[in-house]
Amino acid sequence: MKIISGSLMELSAHLARQTDSQDDAVIEERVKAIIAEVKAKGDQALFSYTEQFDQVALAKLKLDLTEIERGYQETAPEVVQALEAAKANITSFHLKQKQSGFVDAEKAGVIRGQLVLPIETVGIYVPGGTARYPSSVLMNALPAKIAGVKRIVMVTPASPEGLPPGLLAAAKICGIEEIYQVGGAQGIAALAFGTETIPKVDKIVGPGNVYVATAKKILFGTVAIDMIAGPSEVVVLADEAANPAFIAADLLSQAEHDVLARAILITTSQLIAEKVNEELESQLVTLPRGAIAREALDNHGAIFVVEDVTSQFALMNQIAPEHLEIQLADPLAHLSRVKHAGSVFLGAYASEPLGDYLAGPNHVLPTSGTARFFSPLGVEDFVKRTAFISYTKEALAAEKTEVMILAREEGLEAHARAIQVRFEEEKK
């Protein structure tokens, strides 16, 4: 990987130049056409796109419960056990995110409060194709279950060999009973509008490719969505005492995802920079997805050598990475320097893949700098708030003047009169 040294100002300017302004007008038009077709033709469009894009002539969209059960049975017991262990950790972490509403009855005659209600129906998109992601099923479904979502609908691209057993095992472990074999923009459109077979949902969550992300964006408003995901990224902050082999392995675990994945090391040590590069080379040799990882490192990876820890965090916060590893002495002490990051891994043994699978925090995370404003997927994504107020006549009397003044200040006389009428003798 290229090693770039410089002052904070130089490196910050370097990073700022890297914002890719991808023109996706062509993709957008294609996705819009797919959406229109699914809206107009329902299931028929889904069968047709599945044949076209996934090379599968489906007999039906929905899996039977027996098919889900069979996938579970066909999954290796140690995989089932590992999924159950992951479920336990994910559940215990996400239970702490659960919020309740509140009631405020501090003022005489006034009750104010907020309900927190589960979203009724949620669609989970699980990527497919050559990949299989049972862990994504857990990460999407378990927070929804904890939030109290009544109906969870999973869609995932059809595959000529049928859906991977591990995926079905994960679904069963989460209690998912509705799985539809349809992916891409057509799968998102089906969830947004509903078809003869697939129910219309209130919110769609889960990562996908650029077609999925574009469809989610276009349909935002018709349904809610979690976030718009881009390529995955990790930033590792390391000092001279960090272990180059660990760092290289973690960078590679990011880079193997995708040729667009971004693996970045920011270190105060030129020596560590060089050693990590050596380790990358030696570890790459035997990596099954080595070609993908190498392309990602070459095109999107970088090692920045900076002057001090302040510069490390300044650059990191500028990137606002999806994953952040802090491989510095006393890592917890640096947590307050983190302004923008999806998920933070503290110390030499909190390796990023641990978070991908088992630790418990969610692995559906904001990418491409959107950690400035988006959050990891969580229980909060599956609830909505409703406010309420109750006022007695006396309580309203105490505040009616201010309401009427403000309504009239805004030129909304009917607003003022709605208050006034409640104090007119003849109207009672």
Question: Per the annotation, does 73 bind a ligand?
Answer: no
- Contact call for residues 305 and 4 (beta carbons, < 8 A): yes
Cα–Cα distances in Å, from 424 out to 14, 267, 393, 417, 418?
69, 73, 12, 10, 11
User: Of 54 and 226, which CB lies nearer to its own copies in the complex structure?
Assistant: 226
DSSP result, 305-319: E-SSHHHHHHHHHHH
340 is catalytic: no
The three-class DSSP label of residue 389 is strand
Considering the complex, what minimum distance in angstroms separates the CB of residue 51 from its own copies? Answer: 25
Cα–Cα distances in Å, from 395 out to 103, 105, 106, 107, 113?
17, 12, 12, 8, 16
DSSP result, 101-161: -EEE--STTEEEEEEEEE-SEEEEE---TT---HHHHHHHHHHHHHHT-SEEEEEE---TT
Considering the complex, what minimum distance in angstroms separates the CB of residue 46 from its own copies? Answer: 21
Considering the complex, what minimum distance in angstroms separates the CB of residue 311 from its own copies? Answer: 19
Considering the complex, what minimum distance in angstroms separates the CB of residue 52 from its own copies? Answer: 25
Name beta bridge partners: 254. Answer: none
Radius of gyration of the chain (CA): 26
User: Of 132 and 145, which CB lies nearer to its own copies in the complex structure?
Assistant: 132
Which of these is catalytic: 37, 178, 279, 323? 323
Question: Per the annotation, does 334 bind a ligand?
Answer: no
Question: Per the annotation, does 257 bind a ligand?
Answer: yes
Question: Per the annotation, does 327 bind a ligand?
Answer: no
User: Of 7 and 92, which CB lies nearer to its own copies in the complex structure?
Assistant: 92
User: Of 64 and 104, which CB lies nearer to its own copies in the complex structure?
Assistant: 104
The first and second tokens of residue 298, run together, are: 């070459």
Question: Per the annotation, does 49 bind a ligand?
Answer: no
Considering the complex, what minimum distance in angstroms separates the CB of residue 57 from its own copies? Answer: 26
Which of these is catalytic: 256, 322, 325, 352? 322
CA dist 303 and 124 (Å) reads: 36
224: number of Cβ within 10 Å: 18
User: Of 64 and 120, which CB lies nearer to its own copies in the complex structure?
Assistant: 120
Question: Per the annotation, does 356 bind a ligand?
Answer: yes
Name beta bridge partners: 155. Answer: 125, 180
The three-class DSSP label of residue 82 is helix
Cα–Cα distances in Å, from 97 out to 143, 153, 204, 355, 361?
9, 22, 20, 17, 10
Considering the complex, what minimum distance in angstroms separates the CB of residue 257 from its own copies? Answer: 8
Question: Per the annotation, does 256 bind a ligand?
Answer: no
Question: Per the annotation, does 94 bind a ligand?
Answer: no
User: Of 59 and 78, which CB lies nearer to its own copies in the complex structure?
Assistant: 78
322 is catalytic: yes
The first and second tokens of residue 153, run together, are: 């609908």
145: number of Cβ within 10 Å: 18
User: Of 161 and 409, which CB lies nearer to its own copies in the complex structure?
Assistant: 409
The three-class DSSP label of residue 302 is strand
- Contact call for residues 320 and 341 (beta carbons, < 8 A): yes
Considering the complex, what minimum distance in angstroms separates the CB of residue 238 from its own copies? Answer: 14
- Contact call for residues 232 and 246 (beta carbons, < 8 A): no
Binding residue numbers for NAD(+): 125, 186, 209
Binding residue numbers for substrate: 232, 254, 257, 323, 356, 410, 415
Binding residue numbers: 125, 186, 209, 232, 254, 257, 323, 356, 410, 415
Active-site residues, by number, are 322-323
Binding residue numbers for Zn(2+): 254, 257, 356, 415
